[in-house]
Amino acid sequence: MAAFGKILIANRGEIAMRVLRACRGLGIRTVAIHSEADANALHVRFADEAVCVGPADAGKSYLNIPAIIAAAEITGAEAIHPGYGFLSENAKFAELCGKCGITFIGPTPEAMRLWGDKVSSRAVAHRYGLPLLPGTGVLRDADHAVEEARRIGYPVIIKASGGGGGRGMRIVREEADLARNFQTAQHEAQTGFKNPDVYLERFVEEPRHIEFQVLADAHGGVWTLGERECSLQRRHQKVMEESPSPAMDNAKRNVMGDVIRRAIRETGYTTLGTLEFLMDEGGELYFMEMNTRVQVEHPVTEMVTGVDLVEQQILVASGARVSLPDTRPWSFRGHSIECRINAEDPRTFAPWPGLITEYHPPGGGGVRVDSGVYGGWRVPSCYDALIAKVIVHAPTRPEAIAKMRCALDEFIIGGIRTNIPLHQALLREPDVIEGRMSTRTIEHLVSRGF
Report the DSSP beta bridge partners of residue 271: 216
Kindly list the strands in the beta sheet with 103-104, ordered across the sheet, starting from the edge strand earlier in the chain.
Answer: 49-54, 29-35, 6-9, 79-81, 103-104
DSSP string for 162-190: T--TTTT-EEE-SGGGHHHHHHHHHHHHH
* Helix ranges, 267-376 (H): 298-305, 309-317
CA–centroid distance for 240 within its chain: 12
CATH architecture, range 208-448: 2-Layer Sandwich (3.30)
Q: In this predicted structure, what is the pLDDT of residue 119? A: 86
Fold of 6-105: Rossmann fold (3.40.50)
**CA 346 to CA 45: how far, in whole Å?**
30
Angle at 21 between CA 15 and CA 26, to 5 degrees: 130
Q: Which DSSP category does 321 fall into?
A: P
DSSP designation for 211:
E
Task: Tell me the pLDDT tens digit for each residue of 387-436.
Answer: 999 999 999 999 999 999 999 999 999 999 999 999 999 999 999 999 99
| Ranges for all domains in the chain classified under CATH 3.40.50.20 | 6-105
Q: Report whether 80 contacts 7 (CB < 8 A).
A: yes
Kindly provide the residue ranges of all beta strands, DSSP E only, lying in 294-399, ordered along the sequence.
335-342, 354-355, 358-360, 367-371, 378-379, 386-394
| In contact, 106 and 312? CB cutoff 8 Å | no
Q: Does domain 134-202 have CATH number 3.40.640.10?
A: no
* DSSP collapsed to 3 states, 20-38: HHHHHHCCCEEEEEEEHHH
Per-residue model confidence (pLDDT) at position 330: 77
Q: Outline which parts of the chain fall under CATH 3.30.470.20.
A: 208-448
Whole-angstrom distance, CA of residue 362 vs CA of residue 56 = 30
Catalytic residue among 234, 253, 293, 340: 293
CB atoms closer than 10 angstroms to residue 59: 9
Rounded CA separation 3/93 (Å) = 22
- Measured distance CA(193)–CA(179) in Å, rounded: 21
- CA 397 vs CA 37, 221, 401: distances in Å: 40, 31, 6
Q: Would you give the DSSP letter of residue 363?
A: -
Could you tell me where in the chain the CATH 3.30.1490.20 domains are found?
134-202
With a cut of 70, list the residues of the chain below it in pLDDT.
1-2, 163-166
Determine the length of the chain: 450
Across 304-326, b (16+ Cβ under 10 Å) vs e yields bbebbbbbbbbbbbbebebeeee
Instruction: Give the mean pLDDT of the chain.
Output: 95
**CA of residue 211 relative to chain centroid, distance:** 10
pLDDT for the residue numbered 85: 95
Residue pLDDT, tens place only, 23-72: 999 999 999 999 999 999 999 999 999 999 999 999 999 999 999 999 99
Q: Is the dihedral of CA 149, 153, 154, 159 positive or negative?
A: negative
Whether 170 contacts 158, CB under 8 Å: yes
Active site residue 265: no
